Amino acid sequence: MRAEKQIISTEYVTRLNSSPFFIVVDYTGLKVGPMTELRKRLQKAGAEIHVVKNTIFRIAAKEAGVADLGPSLTGQIAVVTGQRDVSAAAKVLKTFTSEFEKPKTRFGFLNNQRLEAAALTELAELPPLEILRGKLLGLLNTPATRLVALLNTPGSQLARVLQARVDKEQK
């Protein structure tokens, strides 16, 4: 491999190793203006998109320990990577695709596990991570709240009976 291609391959490997996920999209027909808009939206979601050369990316994916991508890398592709939440990046892609009808999501990888386009669409429909955490904490907190209320009930009932007795004797 020529030195220029080796440098590009090393950059791809670094990007793949530093990201817990990547999403491969087909950007055929996407003009520069919309692509710039997509880059801005992905940046807000903590992700970035890079146009890649198929053969070099295939080699870089092997070096990064991802399964052999073989024939799934054809046409004009770009790769979305990020440091944060895969569902946030998938949500941006889904919204952008509904507006511009491009790019088409092909597949992705999350922690070295392949996700097809349908699975990425499901991830895009999930609520943000903060909301999911809040719901989980609420679910964990509910039994404790009910237990405290249940343990408190006999004591509060006894206190009301005693207060009623005191009120009755004072009359």
CA neighbor of 90 nearest in space, from 122, 66, 124: 124
Main-chain phi, psi angles of 24, to 5 degrees: -100, 125
Residues 52 and 67 in one domain: yes
Domain containing residue 45: 3-126
**pLDDT on residue 37:** 92
Main-chain phi, psi angles of 38, to 5 degrees: -60, -40
Residues 55 and 41 in one domain: yes
| pLDDT, tens digit, 9 for 90 and up, residues 88-107 | 888 989 999 888 888 888 88
Residues 102 and 131 in one domain: no
Task: Judge whether residue 40 has pLDDT over 90.
Answer: yes
Q: Could you count the other beta carbons within 10 Å of the beta carbon of residue 119?
A: 15
Q: How many domains does the chain have?
A: 2
**pLDDT on residue 61:** 83
Q: Read off the pTM.
A: 0.71
